[in-house]
C-alpha cells in the first residue's frame, strides 16, 4: 500500500513498504525532460543527468563510485520526455548513508569543466547507438513526425549540434530555470 505525504517544504513524498524486503530504493523525480527544453537546448536534461555523477564539493566521481560499491548498492539516473529520476538502491541497513550520498549528488554537484567535453563524446556515442538500433530509431522518427520539432517531438538525448554547444553555464541555468527549482524558490 502506498502512503502519500507532503514535506514541510511542500515537496510530495510517496512511500511503499514491503515487509518481506530488506532493501530500499529512494528516488528523486524532477520535472525536467526533453518536453520542457527549448529546441536550442535539446538534450540538456539528459546531459545534466550525466554530470551529476562527476563529483560534488566533498566527493570526486571516483569517491562516489567507490562509496556506492562499498554499500553493495546501485546509484543511477535516467531521463525521459517528462522527468529525470535520480535513485539509489541499497540494503535497508545502509539507508542513512545512501540518502546522504544521493542528496550530496543532487544538491552539491560541481559539474567540472574537465568532464563536460568527455560527456559530449559519451552522449554522441549514445546517439549513434540509437541510430543503429532500428526499434529505438523508429520511435525517434515517429515522435518527431507526430509531435513536431519541439516539446514531445524532441529526442531525450538531444542532437549532436546542441550537445556540442553546451557549456557549464548552460547546465547551471537549466537547473535554476527548471520547474522544480522555480517551485522551490516560491516556497522559500
For each of the domains in the chain, give its residue range(s) and CATH number, in order of start.
2-187 (3.30.830.10)
Q: Tell me what pLDDT residue 1 has.
A: 80
pLDDT, tens digit, 9 for 90 and up, residues 34-68: 999 999 999 999 999 999 999 999 999 999 999 99
- Residues 49, 57, 119, 140: which is the catalytic one? 49
pLDDT, tens digit, 9 for 90 and up, residues 149-160: 889 999 999 999
Residue from 88, 10, 53, 51 nearest 174 by CA: 51
- Give Cα 38 distance to the centre of its chain: 17
What torsion, rounded to 10 degrees, do the Cα atoms 24, 25, 28, 31 define? Answer: -140
Q: Tell me what pLDDT residue 180 has.
A: 55
| Cβ(116)–Cβ(51) below 8 Å | yes
Q: Which residue has the higher pLDDT, 19 or 132?
A: 132
Is 167 a residue whose pLDDT tops 90? Answer: yes
Specify whether 49 is catalytic. Answer: yes
∠ Cα 100 103 40 (to 5°)? 160
What torsion, rounded to 10 degrees, do the Cα atoms 109, 67, 60, 83 define? Answer: -30
Portion of the chain with pLDDT greater than 90, in percent: 81
Supply 151's cell numbers. 516539446
Binned at pLDDT 50, 70 and 90, residue 164 comes out as very high
CA distances from 82 to 8, 24, 109 (A): 25, 24, 22
HSE-CB for 111 with a 13 A CA cutoff:
18
| Cβ(44)–Cβ(171) below 8 Å | yes
Q: Give the span between the Cα atoms of 71 and 95, in whole angstroms.
A: 10
Q: Tell me what pLDDT residue 20 has.
A: 87
Q: What is the 8-class DSSP label of residue 153?
A: G
Is 133 a residue whose pLDDT tops 50? Answer: yes
Amino acid at each position: 500500500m502506498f502512503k502519500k505525504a507532503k514535506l514541510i517544504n511542500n515537496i510530495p513524498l510517496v512511500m511503499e513498504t514491503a515487509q518481506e524486503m530488506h532493501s530500499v530504493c529512494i528516488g528523486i523525480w524532477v520535472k525536467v525532460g526533453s518536453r520542457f527544453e527549448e529546441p536550442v537546448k535539446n538534450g540538456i536534461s539528459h546531459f545534466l543527468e550525466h554530470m551529476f555523477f562527476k563529483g560534488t564539493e566533498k566527493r570526486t566521481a571516483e569517491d562516489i563510485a567507490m562509496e556506492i560499491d562499498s554499500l553493495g548498492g546501485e546509484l543511477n539516473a535516467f531521463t525521459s520526455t517528462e522527468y529525470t529520476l535520480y535513485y539509489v538502491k541499497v540494503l535497508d541497513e545502509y539507508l542513512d548513508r545512501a540518502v546522504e550520498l544521493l542528496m550530496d549528488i543532487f544538491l552539491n554537484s560541481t559539474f567540472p569543466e574537465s568532464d563536460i567535453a568527455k560527456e559530449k563524446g559519451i552522449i554522441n556515442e549514445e546517439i549513434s547507438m540509437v541510430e543503429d538500433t532500428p526499434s529505438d530509431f523508429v520511435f525517434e522518427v515517429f515522435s518527431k513526425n507526430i509531435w513536431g520539432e519541439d516539446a514531445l517531438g524532441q529526442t531525450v538525448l538531444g542532437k549532436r549540434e546542441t550537445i556540442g554547444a553546451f557549456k557549464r553555464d548552460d547546465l547551471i541555468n537549466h537547473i535554476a530555470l527548471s520547474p522544480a527549482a522555480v517551485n522551490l524558490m516560491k516556497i522559500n
